[in-house]
Amino acid sequence: MSVFILGIESSCDDTSAAVIDGTRILSNVTASQDVHRKFGGVVPELASRAHQQNIIPVIHQSLKLANISKNQLNAIAFTNGPGLLGSLLVGASFAKAFAMGLHIPLIEVDHINAHILAHFIQPKTGKKEVPVFPFLCLIISGGHTQIIIVKDYFDMEVIGGTIDDAAGEAFDKSAKILGLPYPGGPLIDEYAKPGNPDKFKFPHPSVSGLDFSFSGIKTSILYFLRDKTAENPDFIEQNLHDLCASIQHTIVDILLKKLTKAVEQTGITKVAIAGGVSANSALQKALLMKQEKSGWKVFIPDFEFCTDNAAMIAVTGYFKYLRNDFAKQKISPYSRSRK
* DSSP label at residue 204: P
What's the closest the beta carbon of residue 32 comes to ligand KG4, in angstroms?
10
- Helix crossing, 215-231 with 167-177: angle to 10°? 10
Does residue 195 interact with ligand KG4 by CB under 6 A? Answer: no
Give the whole-angstrom CA distance, residue 193 versus residue 174.
Answer: 16
Partner from ligand KG4, Zn ion, none binding residue 27, C-beta < 5-8 Å depending on class: none
Does residue 185 interact with ligand KG4 by CB under 6 A? Answer: yes
Residue from the set 86, 160, 183, 317 that interacts with ligand KG4 by CB under 6 A: 183
Instruction: Work out whether the CA dihedral 167, 170, 171, 173 comes out positive or negative.
Output: positive
Residue from the set 5, 12, 26, 159 that interacts with ligand KG4 by CB under 6 A: 12
Can you name the residues that pair with 146 across neighbouring β-strands? Answer: 139, 161
* DSSP label at residue 180: P
Site stretch for ligand KG4 (CB under 6 A), options 65-73, 234-242, 264-272, 273-281: 273-281
Site residues (CB under 6 A) for ligand KG4, limited to 132-161:
141-143
Is the CB of 60 or the CB of 338 nearer to Zn ion? 338
Residue from the set 105, 177, 308, 309 that interacts with Zn ion by CB under 5 A: 308
Does residue 172 interact with Zn ion by CB under 5 A? Answer: no
Is the CB of 75 or the CB of 221 nearer to ligand KG4? 221
Site stretch for Zn ion (CB under 5 A), options 100-108, 135-143, 152-160, 208-216: 135-143
Question: What contacts 196, CB < 8 A, 6 or more positions away?
Answer: 241, 242, 245, 246
Is the CB of 95 or the CB of 240 nearer to Zn ion? 95
Is the CB of 240 or the CB of 277 nearer to ligand KG4? 277
What's the closest the beta carbon of residue 218 comes to ligand KG4, in angstroms?
13
Does residue 81 interact with ligand KG4 by CB under 6 A? Answer: no
**CA atoms within a 13 Å half-sphere pointing along the CA-CB vector of 99:** 26
Identity at 191, one-letter amino acid code:
Y
Cβ atoms of residues 294 and 300 within 8 Å = no
Residue from the set 81, 168, 195, 317 that interacts with ligand KG4 by CB under 6 A: 168
Give the whole-angstrom CA distance, residue 339 versus residue 335.
Answer: 12
How remote is the C-alpha of 182 from its chain's centroid? Answer: 16
CA-based radius of gyration for the chain: 20
Question: What contacts 3, CB < 8 A, 6 or more positions away?
Answer: 21, 22, 74, 75, 318, 321
Residues that bind Zn ion (CB under 5 A): 141, 308
Interacting residues toward ligand KG4 by CB under 6 A: 12, 141-143, 168, 171-172, 183-186, 189, 275-277, 279-280, 307-308
